[in-house]
Chain A
C-alpha cells in the first residue's frame, strides 16, 4: 500500500506541536508516549499499521475546534477516529498526523420522542443510541454488525448500513443534522431537526465523505417506534440460482421484509461447524425477517411460504418461538466468527443487482479455485450488498497479496455486473486504488472538488478514498 512520504518538517516539530495541544486541552487529553499511541496504529483492517504523531481525546466540540485551529496553523494533517472498527482502513493514521479520537464524546445531548429524534455526541456507540430510547419503545435503525462497538461519527463518515436497510435505509437516510468542525476550527451546523435542506444539502455529502470534509462532533438522528414484533423464516434451496429467483419473487409480490439474508454452501458449512445452529445441508439458504403484529406477521409469512413453495425448497422453517428465532439468526450472526476459525480473512462488501447473483457467485467460485483461496459468501439480498469472505493465512508469505488480488478481482466483477466497490464499509485505503474501476477521471475530479472547498490544503484524513496519482497535484500544492 503506497502512502505519501511523511512531512519531515512536522516530524521535526513534534514536541512543539504536542506542547501547543497540551496547552489548549486538559492534561489527560493528549497522548504522545509511543507505547500508548500504538493502540491507535490501526483499525479493523489490521494488515496496515502506523502510529500517529500524537493522539488527542477531546470531550467537547470546543476542544475539537481548538485542536483543529492549532493543526491548521501548524499545517498538520488530522485523522478522525470513532471506535476504530473500519474494515477499510478509514482510521489508519499517518506518521505526521494528529489523531482525533472521539471515544470520550459519548453523551446523549437531547432526546425528543415527540419529534422522533435524538442528539448525541459523535463518539457514542451505535447500539447505545438505541439503548437510550428502547425503554420508551424506540430504536435507531442502521445496525452495522459492529454496532456494539462502532461510533456514530464513524457511521456518518462511512454512511454505514446494516442488515435491515431494505426497509429502513442506511445512515444517510436516518441522519437529520450534524455539528461539524471545519479544517480551520470553524464550527458549522448542517441540517437540524427539520426534514429537508433549505439551501444546498451539505449534510448529504458530508455523510459518507470518510471524515475528509470536517470532524463531526454531534449528530441529530431519526429514531423510530419499534414494531410490535418480528419473526424470521429460514428457507434452504438446492442451488444459488433458485434462491436468487425466490428473492426476486418475494420482492415482486409486494412484500417488504426488513431483512433478506443469503448464505452460500461454504458459508453455511462454516457457520454450522462453528455455531451448530442446525442449518440444513443445502447449497443456498435465505433468512427472511418480517415485522408487525402477530397477525400481520402471519399474513406475510403465509405469502412467503406460498412463493417459496414454487421453488422446491429443501427446507422451510418458521420460528415458532423466541428461541427458534434466535437459532435461525445464530448461524448468520456468527458467520464472521466462524470464518475467523478457518483462518485470517478479508471481508469485501461490493454490491450487485440481485438479478446478477447466481452468475456472480459462479464466477467467484472459479476465481477462488484459481487463486487456491476459499471464499464464503454472505449477501444482504434485499439491498444488493455482497460480503465475500476470503480465507487466507497471514503467516504464509504471499498469502495476503494473493488474497488482496483475489478481492480486487471480485470487486471488478461486482462493478461489471452493475454494482459498486463498496456498499457500506467505505473506500478508505483498502479500495482507494480501485476507484478508477468504477469511475472516470471526470467523476473522481468532481468528487475531489468538494474536498477542495471543505479542506483546501487536503489535510483531513489524508491519502484515503482518492487514488494518490489523481490527487497528487492537490496534495503537492498543499504541502
Chain B
C-alpha cells in the first residue's frame, strides 16, 4: 500500500506508478468488483483547509473523515446538504468514511430529493490525474461557470479521471427542528402514492422513503413553528398514523433509510436501482423480493438470489441499476456491475478516461 502524506507525494506516487493503482479513501463504498493493483490510500490527506460559516463554504482534504467534518459543521449549526449515507453495515465494509470517498461515489442520502446529490454540493476540487498532474477546477463560491465543470464530472467517477485530493462544498444551516410522519403503506404502490403526494405539496419535504413493515416516511425540517405547521398539514392530508417529533428517533429512522437497514443481513446480491420514481411499484413487483425505497421511489434497494440478472427481471425502467455487493465477494460477478451504456455514450466515457488516465491505471476497469 502507498499512503502519501500530501498532494505532492500523491502526485509523485501516481507519476512513478509502474502498474494499476486501487484508490482507497475509507474503503467503505466498494462496488461488487475489486480493483487490481497496489492500494493507493488517500487517508493521509486530512484536514479542513477553510471553513467560513458565514459564506456556507467548506474546503477539506479528501481523506478527512466524514465524522470529523460533520462534527465541525454541527458545532456551527450547519451540515452537508446531501446527507452522506453510511453504507458500512450494508456493504460489509468496515472503515471510516471520508469526504473524498463520498464525493467520488456521488453518495447521496435521503435529502437528495430536496437539497440535491453530493455532486450538487460540490463547488470545486483538486485532483491528480493519471499522469500525476494536479488539476484544479471550480472554486469556493456557490455560483461559478468559469470554464468546464470538471468537478461535477469527477463526482461519481470513482477516481477513474483523477484521484481527489481536496474538495470545496456548499453547506446548509442545520435544521432547528425535525418531524417524521409515518404513513401506513402496505406495499410499494401505496408508499409511492403517499410520497408523491408529499413531494408535490408546497411543504418542502426533505425525505420520502418506505421501509416495509414500518410504512412511508416523510421528513419535514426547519424552524420549529414552521415544522409544526407543515407536519400538521401533511399529516392530515396523508393520513399519518404517527408524527415522530423526537430528533434522535428521527435521526435513527433516516440512518436506517440511508443504509437500507432492513436488507443488511439478507443473503444474496445487493442491487441499487436509480429510476423514475413512478416506476418503483412496477419494478418492485417484478423483482418480487422485499425492497427499500428512498427518494420518493427514485431509489430502490433490493437483495436478489446470487447471480440473478436483476435488470432483466426489473425491466422496463428508465434509469440504471448497480450491483453493489455479491453473495460471493471476490468472485467476478456474472452480470455487469454498472448499467451498460449506449455505444455512443460508452465511447465518450472511454474517451474521457483515456484522456485523463492514458495508462489506464486509476481504478482500472471499475467504470467499464
A residues near B (Cβ < 8 Å) are 112-116, 137-138, 158-159, 161, 165-166, 169-170, 172-173, 182, 186-190, 192-202, 204-205, 207-209, 225-228, 247-249, 251-256, 292-293, 295-296, 299-300, 351-355, 380, 382-385, 418-427, 431, 435, 438-440, 442-444, 446-447, 449-454, 465
Interface residues of B in 137-189 (CB under 8 A from A): 137, 139-150, 152-153, 155-157, 160-161, 172-174, 176
Bound state CA distance, A249 and B348, in angstroms?
46
B309 close to A (CB within 8 Å): no
Min CB distance B237 to A, Å, is: 13
Bound state CA distance, A187 and B117, in angstroms?
27
Given contacts A198-B322, A205-B153, A225-B202, contact A193 B276 (CB under 8 A): yes
Given contacts A200-B157, A420-B139, contact A449 B355 (CB under 8 A): yes
- Is the Cβ of A205 less than 8 Å from the Cβ of B145? no
B246 close to A (CB within 8 Å): no
- Is the Cβ of B225 less than 8 Å from the Cβ of A296? yes
B226 close to A (CB within 8 Å): yes
Q: Residue B275 contacts which of A138, A194, A228, A452 (CB distance < 8 angstroms)?
A: A194
Contacts of A228 in B (CB 8 A): 202
Bound state CA distance, A352 and B342, in angstroms?
41
- Is the Cβ of B152 less than 8 Å from the Cβ of A292? no
B6 close to A (CB within 8 Å): no
Contacts of B34 in A (CB 8 A): none
- Is the Cβ of B145 less than 8 Å from the Cβ of A422? yes
Query: Can you spell out 27 A-B residue pairs with CB atoms less than 8 angstroms apart?
Result: A169-B120, A170-B145, A193-B277, A193-B318, A194-B298, A194-B319, A195-B299, A200-B160, A200-B349, A202-B349, A205-B149, A227-B202, A228-B202, A248-B54, A251-B55, A251-B173, A253-B173, A256-B172, A383-B141, A383-B143, A419-B141, A420-B146, A425-B145, A427-B146, A435-B147, A447-B150, A465-B147
- Is the Cβ of B119 less than 8 Å from the Cβ of A201? yes
B135 close to A (CB within 8 Å): yes
Min CB distance B158 to A, Å, is: 9
- Is the Cβ of A227 less than 8 Å from the Cβ of B150? no
- Is the Cβ of B120 less than 8 Å from the Cβ of A351? no
Render B223-257 as a binary contact track against A, CB cut-off 8 A, 1 for contact: 10110011000000000000000000000000000
Contacts of B143 in A (CB 8 A): 161, 165, 170, 351, 380, 383-385, 423-424
B41 close to A (CB within 8 Å): no
If A252-B53, A418-B139 are given as contacts, then 16 extra A-B residue pairs at C-beta distance below 8 Å, sorted by A number, are A113-B200, A114-B196, A138-B200, A159-B149, A172-B152, A188-B345, A194-B276, A198-B338, A200-B352, A207-B149, A225-B199, A227-B202, A293-B230, A296-B223, A418-B140, A419-B139
Contacts of B108 in A (CB 8 A): 195-196
Q: Residue A115 contacts which of B144, B152, B278 (CB distance < 8 angstroms)?
A: B278
Bound state CA distance, A373 and B54, in angstroms?
32
- Is the Cβ of A198 less than 8 Å from the Cβ of B55? no
Interface residues of B in 335-350 (CB under 8 A from A): 338-339, 341-342, 344-346, 348-349
Bound state CA distance, A196 and B298, in angstroms?
10
B329 close to A (CB within 8 Å): no
Bound state CA distance, A173 and B81, in angstroms?
13
- Is the Cβ of B145 less than 8 Å from the Cβ of A423? yes
Contacts of A421 in B (CB 8 A): 146
Bound state CA distance, A380 and B142, in angstroms?
11
- Is the Cβ of A169 less than 8 Å from the Cβ of B116? yes
- Is the Cβ of A447 less than 8 Å from the Cβ of B147? yes
Contacts of B298 in A (CB 8 A): 194-195
B219 close to A (CB within 8 Å): no
Given contacts A435-B147, A450-B148, A453-B352, contact A440 B202 (CB under 8 A): no
Among B134, B157, B276, B353, chain A packs the most CB atoms within 10 A around the CB of: B276
B residues near A (Cβ < 8 Å) are 52-57, 76-77, 106, 108, 112-113, 116-117, 119-120, 129, 133-137, 139-150, 152-153, 155-157, 160-161, 172-174, 176, 196, 199-202, 204, 222-223, 225-226, 229-230, 274-278, 295, 298-299, 318-322, 338-339, 341-342, 344-346, 348-349, 351-353, 355-356, 367
Q: Residue B52 contacts which of A159, A198, A355, A452 (CB distance < 8 angstroms)?
A: A355
| A425 closest partner in B (C-beta) | B145
Given contacts A188-B342, A444-B147, contact A197 B156 (CB under 8 A): yes
Contacts of A353 in B (CB 8 A): 52, 55, 57, 140-141
- Is the Cβ of B173 less than 8 Å from the Cβ of A254? yes
Bound state CA distance, A449 and B320, in angstroms?
27
Contacts of B129 in A (CB 8 A): 446
Q: Residue B148 contacts which of A208, A252, A355 (CB distance < 8 angstroms)?
A: A208
- Is the Cβ of B176 less than 8 Å from the Cβ of A202? no
Contacts of A253 in B (CB 8 A): 173
Bound state CA distance, A241 and B112, in angstroms?
36
Q: Residue B149 contacts which of A172, A247, A383 (CB distance < 8 angstroms)?
A: A172
Contacts of A165 in B (CB 8 A): 142-143
- Is the Cβ of A438 less than 8 Å from the Cβ of B146? yes
- Is the Cβ of A166 less than 8 Å from the Cβ of B142? yes
Given contacts A186-B344, A201-B155, A300-B223, contact A251 B56 (CB under 8 A): yes
- Is the Cβ of B145 less than 8 Å from the Cβ of A158? yes
- Is the Cβ of B149 less than 8 Å from the Cβ of A254? no
Bound state CA distance, A440 and B152, in angstroms?
19
Q: Residue B139 contacts which of A182, A351, A431, A465 (CB distance < 8 angstroms)?
A: A351
Contacts of B172 in A (CB 8 A): 256
Q: Residue A435 contacts which of B146, B157, B276 (CB distance < 8 angstroms)?
A: B146
Q: Residue A193 contacts which of B139, B319, B344 (CB distance < 8 angstroms)?
A: B319
Contacts of B112 in A (CB 8 A): 195-196
Q: Residue A446 contacts which of B116, B135, B146, B318 (CB distance < 8 angstroms)?
A: B135
Contacts of B346 in A (CB 8 A): 199
| A442 closest partner in B (C-beta) | B133
- Is the Cβ of A200 less than 8 Å from the Cβ of B156? yes
Min CB distance B161 to A, Å, is: 8
- Is the Cβ of B150 less than 8 Å from the Cβ of A137? no
